[in-house]
Structure formats: C-alpha cells, structure tokens
Amino acid sequence: MQKSNPIIELTMEQTTQLRQIWISHGPELRSEDFTFGRVKLSRPQAKLSKNQVFRMMMTLAETGYDTIPEWMLEITDPQEPK
C-alpha cells in the first residue's frame, strides 16, 4: 500500500530556491504561514510531507506568486509515464 502523504527530502538546491522565494514573500504571508515555512526550510535539505509542499505552494499562490517551481508541481501532481 502506497503512502498518501509521503515525506519528501528536497535537494539543497530546491531548499535554497524555496527558502529564497518564501523569504521574499514574507511580508505578504500570514505570520503563522511565514513561521511554518521558516521552520520547515531551516535545514540545508528540507523534509516536507507531500501535503506540506501543497500547503506551501497554495500559500504562495494566494500571494499572487505565479511562477511555482516545476518540481513542486511534480511532487503534488506527478505526471503519468508515457
């Protein structure tokens, strides 16, 4: 049985990219959302559940951020192999 909310370990590059995006949008985020992201992204390689990746992606979208990294979309909605 496959886990529906697996833990994903981001690469250092993905973590750095998401941390930079998160911090740059800090003023637009609710305090509790910003704090959640800062804590989760404090490791060199963040570990997030699939649901947490989705939460962060949706939080960014709510700020009007429209260039969500492709790897986040792939985690939350993987493409079927052709």
- Residue 79 is predicted with a pLDDT of 73
- Bridge partners of residue 47, in order along the sequence: 9
Give CA separation, 33 vs 30, 56, 74, in Å.
Answer: 5, 8, 22
pLDDT in tens, the chain (82 residues): 556 899 999 999 999 999 999 999 989 999 999 999 999 999 999 999 999 999 999 999 999 998 999 999 999 887 766 6
Report the Cα 76 to chain-centroid distance in Å. Answer: 10
* pLDDT value of position 54: 95
